[in-house]
Amino acid sequence: MKKQKELVDTKSKEPAAMGAATVLKRQPLRTIRVEDCSASIWAREAQVRGDIVVFYSVTFERSYKDRDGSWKYTKSFDFESLGKLVRLCQEASEVIESLQP
C-alpha cells in the first residue's frame, strides 16, 4: 500500500494566538516544469460517504519576462507552448497515478 504525501499546512501561529482568523496557505504536492511552462499538482481531501477521499487537480502556468525584465506568469499559452502542455499533462497524469492507493 502506497503512502500518500502529506499536505503542507503553513498556518501562522501569531494571528491564531491573537484571536484572528488563521491563514492556511495551500501548496502544490509537486510542480513539473518543461522550459517556460509548468504544471502544479494539488490535492484536496473530502469526506465521501464517511470515508476521506483525496481528489487531485492540476493547474498550468507559463512564465515570461516583460519589457522591464521582470518575471510574469500567465495561464495563456501560445502555439509554441502546446507541445510542452501535452508533455506536462502526461507527466502530471503519471504522478497522480503513482499517488493512487
Q: What is the tens place of the pLDDT at every residue in 63-91?
A: 999 999 999 999 999 999 999 999 999 99
This prediction has a pTM of 0.72
What mean pLDDT do residues 26-39 have? 96
For 47-59, the pLDDT digits (tens) are 999 999 999 999 9
pLDDT band at 20 (very low <50, low <70, confident <90, very high): low
Q: What is the distance in angstroms between the CA of the first residue and the CA of the last residue of the chain? A: 6
Secondary structure class of 66 (helix, strand, coil): coil
